[in-house]
Every structure is written in C-alpha cells, then in structure tokens.
Amino acid sequence: MKKSLILVCTILVGLGAVIVFPQQEVVISIKDGMPVIPLALPEFISQSTAPEIKSYGEKLHQIISADLEYSRVFQLLPKSHYSYIRSLNPKKIHFKDWESIQATLLMVGILSDSEKKDFLFEGKVYDVKSGRFIFGKRYQSAESLLRLVAHKMADEIMKIYGERPIFTSKVVYISNRDGNDELYMMDYDGENQTRLTFNKIVDYMPAWSVDAKKIAYTSYRGTEAGLYIYNPYEGVRKEVTSSGTNFAPAFSPDGKKLAFCSTVEEGNSEIYVANSAGTNIKRLTFNIAIDTSPSWSPNGREIAFTSDRGGTPQIYVMDAEGSNVRRVSFGGSYHDAPAWSPTGDRIAYVSRVDQIFDIYVLNLRTNKIIKLTESNARNESPTWSPNGRHLIFSSNLSGSIQLYTIDYDSLNLKRLTSKGSNKLPDWSR
C-alpha cells in the first residue's frame, strides 16, 4: 500500500452538506480542578466486508481510547453502559439514550474502503444534550500510518476544548541500548522508538526546536563537548560551538533563540544565548559560580536556571537578557534541572533530600511546592507535555534507568522504555 495520509478537514452534516462553524463557537477552556468530560466512544463501525478494515477499526478505537483516557480532560464511559441502550445507528442517533447513560459527548467512528486500496476513517463528535453535531474529520491512510491517524483524531478532540494537542508530539532522549549513548525519538506514549544518530561517540542532552524539526544536543568528539543542531528528517547536522564544554541547550518559545551552557571563557559554566541557527553568541551570566540548566518561560521573557552562587545549587530566574536575577527555591541543599511548564505558572525541578533525588513542582503564583515523585529511586530530568498536564522523567525505579510519565498531580505513573538505559528526555511542543 502507498504510505499516504490525506486529511480531509471538513465539518459534516448528514452525509453530504459541508458547514464550517467558527472555532470560537466550540472552544471551551479546561482548567485544573474542573471535572472531566464524560465521553461515549462505542466501537467503530466498518462499512467494508474486508476483514482488515474491521481490524483497523479496532486498532484505531484502542489508540484513541488510550489517548483520551490519558488526557485528564475526558473520561470514557464503561463499555458495560452501552448494553443498556439501543445499538448505535450513525444515520439516526438516539441522543436521549446516550444522555441516559450520562454521556456528555459522543464520538462516532466509521471505516470504509478507499479507491486507493488504503482505508478511509471518518470521526464525528456530537454534543449529547443538544444533539448538536460539533465537528468531524475524515482521514485516508495506509495501515502503516494508522497510529498517526488515531493520534491526530484525538488531538482534534482536544483542540475543540481549548487544549494544546499532545498525541502527535515526540520525545527525544538518550539511550545506550545499542552499546553507545545516542539520540532516540519516540511517540508520547513510548511507541515507535527510533534511533536517530549512529556513531561511536557520546551524544547528550537533546532539546527540540519549537517546530520539532531540529534537535540541539551535546556531542563528545575527542576531548571536546561541542554543541550541534541536527535535523533528523533531513539528516543534516550543524556545529554551533566546539570550544570548551557546551551543554544543556534550550530553544526559546518563539524559536528565534537558543540558550546553552559553556565553559569556553573562564573554565566554569556560564549561560549563553545565540540565535536559533547557532550564530551571534552572547554571554548572559557573569559569575564565579556554576550556572547551568537554562529553561525558558513560555512567553520567552525569562529564563530559569541552576546556580550555586549562594553556596548550594538552587533555582534562579533572570530576564532573558541576563538581568534581574532572583532566587526562587529555598530550603534544602540541592535543587537542579528546572523545567518551566507551558502554562507558565509552575517550574518542575529535581531536589536531593538524604541522598534521594525526587521531582518537585513549584507553583509560582502561590509559592506552594508539591512533591511529584515518592520513592527511593533517583528521579531526574523532568520535561513537560505541551499542555502542562503531564511530565516525562528518568528514573532507576526498576533498577535500570528508564523513562516514565506522570501527571502534574503525581497520578498515573507509567513506564515508557525498557531496553538499555534511557535518560535526558525532552518533549516537543
């Protein structure tokens, strides 16, 4: 089959008419603390006699279900509820039936053959109480892109409710599963783990560009730790700097700048900024202490970082030009690896207490701190999901160092990797 993915982005009424509703009519902002939305997701309907089409429908249903359950925005109704009402007829939906089992939304999925011998999937979402059609998407795809179709459909449902899409996002990380520390990439849920670099040198600390087309990372070539920018889709790599030790890159939210750490001038780590292409390098910190781990605020006006200028590693924030430095972590003798949430109100970081490394989250509005991980393991390198509801981090909870995902309130811990040691994740935006 041809590896194609054709997205027909239409909003459908009945079988033929096309009506496009203004987006502001359907966007609802979901806030922390709001109840989840009950969503009915009955089995998808196959309009083909081909057994593989029915199988595709089952796989799509499984992936979309897992995505929406993970979202913390939707709650899928138990399958047992569907036995109390009439079977779904997509041409004549009895909304009172679905309302009787407490559904707020109903998603209908229909699969059929396509002229190009791929499959055609159509997903429609309805408001149950009003019986109103909200939106629909149609995808023509080969089986090889089935997971992408499912993730795109789930993302579209998230966007209707004012949420940033996360299911088509990617995670870049370091793994030694093939004998050497190399760059790898995977889907948000741990699927499609793919090796990106192939060499005999150590790669380290990858960071996505804002458009998820480039990765900045450290690569040890000889005795030098140079900083490079790599396009994994074109196989093109460019050197930013190789003088001194260079590490911890971070692209700004607008994609125009790249912050990183370097020892090039005075032998100790300072924070620098360049443009996104790696040129016009400018130093931001001037201190005899170690300054490291820059993390941009979502508006690009500030940078959080780690510094031991007060005697112990603590979290500081400065303006993007390097001025107005202030400390934001207090108590404890070791805080590191700040990660500013996309929502702007929280910073995740690593804290060491009694030789145990755990991840904490500081609420910048209330100054309250929550402990995200609770174990005797070494939990490090937090990175936020694009919508700020989840994090991925590395941990030796299972013995070897692996990647895990957890929600912002410490619920739903799940392991994502298993082969070799895996660390230093960065979640694309």
The reported pLDDT for the residue numbered 196 is 96
Dihedral (Cα; 303, 210, 68, 120), 10-degree rounding:
180
Domain annotation covers residue 201: yes
* 171, 187 contact by CB (below 8 A): yes
CA distances from 54 to 123, 179, 217, 241 (A): 15, 41, 43, 53
Q: Determine the Cα–Cα distance for residues 64 and 39; give it in Å rounded to an integer.
A: 12
Residue 233 sits in a domain whose CATH number is 2.120.10.30
Which residue type sits at 240? V
Q: Which domain holds residue 116?
A: 5-160
pLDDT, tens digit (0-9, with 9 covering 90-100), for 343-361: 999 999 999 988 899 999 9
Starting at the edge strand that comes first in sequence, how are the strands of the sheet with 202-208 ordered? 202-208, 215-221, 224-231, 236-241
| 254 lies in the same domain as 282 | yes
* 421, 378 contact by CB (below 8 A): no
What whole-number percentage of the chain has pLDDT above 90? Answer: 83
What's the whole-model pTM score? 0.90
Q: Determine the Cα–Cα distance for residues 259 and 239; give it in Å rounded to an integer.
A: 15
| 139 lies in the same domain as 205 | no
Structure tokens at 274: 């360049």
* 244, 263 contact by CB (below 8 A): yes
| 207 lies in the same domain as 187 | yes
Q: Which of residues 112, 128, 160 is at a domain's end?
A: 160
- Residues forming a β-bridge with 291: 307
Domain annotation covers residue 165: no
* 195, 184 contact by CB (below 8 A): yes
| 131 lies in the same domain as 272 | no
* 200, 224 contact by CB (below 8 A): no
Q: Determine the Cα–Cα distance for residues 376 and 196; give it in Å rounded to an integer.
A: 32
pLDDT, tens digit (0-9, with 9 covering 90-100), for 276-323: 988 999 999 998 999 999 999 999 999 999 999 999 999 999 999 999
| 218 lies in the same domain as 367 | yes
DSSP assignment of 321-336, as one string? TS-S-EE---SSS-EE
Q: Which of residues 141, 160, 179 is at a domain's end?
A: 160
| 149 lies in the same domain as 239 | no
To the nearest 10 degrees (0 to 180), the angle between helices 51-70 and 146-160 is 40
CA dihedral sign of residues 246, 249, 252, 258:
positive
Which 8-state DSSP code applies to residue 266?
T
Kindly report the number of other CB atoms within 10 A of residue 65's CB atom.
18
245: three-class secondary structure by DSSP: strand
Judged on CB neighbours under 10 Å (0-12, 13-18, 19+), 18 is exposed
Q: Which of residues 129, 160, 191 is at a domain's end?
A: 160
Domain annotation covers residue 91: yes
Residue with tokens 């993970």: 70
The reported pLDDT for the residue numbered 211 is 95
Answer yes or no: is pLDDT of 11 > 50. no
Structure tokens at 278: 């790696």
The reported pLDDT for the residue numbered 223 is 76
What whole-number percentage of the chain has pLDDT above 70? Answer: 92
| 156 lies in the same domain as 210 | no
Q: Determine the Cα–Cα distance for residues 2 and 197; give it in Å rounded to an integer.
A: 27
Q: What is the mean pLDDT of the chain?
A: 90
